[in-house]
A = this chain, B = another copy of it.
Amino acid sequence: MTPPDRAEPPDADVAVVAGEDPPSARVPLDRPRIVAAASSFIDEYGLTGLTMRRLGGTLGVEAMSLYAYVSGKEDLLDAVVDALVAEMRRDDAVSLTPSAGWQDYLQRLAHGVRRVALAHPRAFPLVASRPPEAPWLRPPLRSLEWVEAFLDGLTSEGFTDEAAVSGYRAFSSFLLGHLLLEVSTMGADLGPLDVLDDGVADPEGLADYPTVQRLRDRLAEDRAGAEFEEALEELLNRMALIRAETLPG
C-alpha cells in the first residue's frame, strides 16, 4: 500500500549513479557535493526520507564517510538552507542592488524567492523552520548578504533607517506566509513522518459544513500566483506611503 505518487527513497546500499561519472575514476567526496546531493535527495524524496546512510548510498559511500566533511546532520541541513538562500544570487532577474528603483528591486527579489520556493517545495520549509543565527536574520532572507543588500538598497533609495528595517520585517513575513502556504498546498511535508492520503475525496463529512460545501470549488481554486502578486503590490504601496511620509531631509 505505497502511496502511488510518492517515490520511495533508495536503499542505503544502492548507489544511485549520477549520469556522468566515469565508472572507474573514484572522485573523492567534498562538502559541496554532499550538500548538493542532500538537496536533490530532499527534492525527490522529501525531508523525511533523508538519512545519513541513504545519502551516503546516493554518493556511493558509507554514511560514516560523510562525517569527514559535515559535522553532523544538523550541520548538513544548515548547509542545505544556505545553498537555497544562495541560489537566489544566481537568478539573473534578481540583483543585490536596485537598478530601476526600489519597487522594481523588491518585485524582482520577491519573485526570485518565490521561484526558489517553487523549485524546491519540499526543502523550502527548512528555510522557514531552522532557528535563525541572529535575531536580525529572518527567514526567508536569512543571510547577512541579503539583509545587508536589502537594507542598503532601501536606504540608498530614500528610506529612513527605521522605514528600511520595518520594510525588511514586513517583506519577510509577507514572503514567509505566502510561500509556506503555497508550498504546503503542493504537498510539501516537514513533519517527522510522511503520510499523505492524496485522495481529496469528499467524504460526505462536509454535510455539517454547508458553507464550506457551497464554496468548495472556489476554495480549491489555485489562485496562488495572483494572490502573491496582489499582496506584493499592496505591500509595496504601503511601503511607498511610509517612505513618502518619512522622506529624510
Q: Which A residues are within 8 Å of any B CB, using their own CB?
A: 47, 72-74, 77, 125-126, 128-132, 134-136, 138-139, 144-145, 147-148, 151-152, 155, 161-162, 164-166, 168-170, 172-178, 180-181, 184-185, 187-193, 195-196, 200, 205-206, 208-212, 214-216, 218-220, 223, 227, 231, 234, 238
Q: How far is the CB of A93 from chain B (nearest CB, A)?
A: 23
CB-based closest 7 A-B pairs:
A177-B177, A136-B219, A173-B177, A129-B190, A148-B209, A152-B211, A176-B177
Q: Which of B136, B145, B185 contacts A132 (CB 8 A)?
A: B185
How far apart are the CA atoms of A188 and B139 in the complex, in Å? 13
Check B227–A166 contact: CB distance below 8 A: yes
* Smallest Cβ-Cβ distance to A227: which chain B residue: B169
**A195 partner residues in chain B, CB cutoff 8 A:** 74, 131
Q: How far is B215's CA from A147's CA once the two chains are assembled, in angstroms?
A: 11
Most B CB within 10 A of own CB, among A130, A168, A174, A219: A219
Measured between C-beta atoms, what is the minimum distance from A71 to chain B in Å? 10
Task: Report B-chain residues with C-beta under 8 Å of the C-beta of A196.
Answer: 131
A185 near B72 (CB under 8 angstroms)?
no
User: What separation, in Å, do the CA atoms of A132 and B209 have in the docked complex?
Assistant: 17
Say yes or no: B147 contacts A209, CB within 8 Å: yes
Q: When the two chains form their complex, are residues A170 and B231 in contact, meaning their CB atoms are under 8 A apart?
A: yes
Residues of B within 8 A of A135 (CB): 185, 200, 219-220
Residues of B within 8 A of A128 (CB): 128, 180, 184
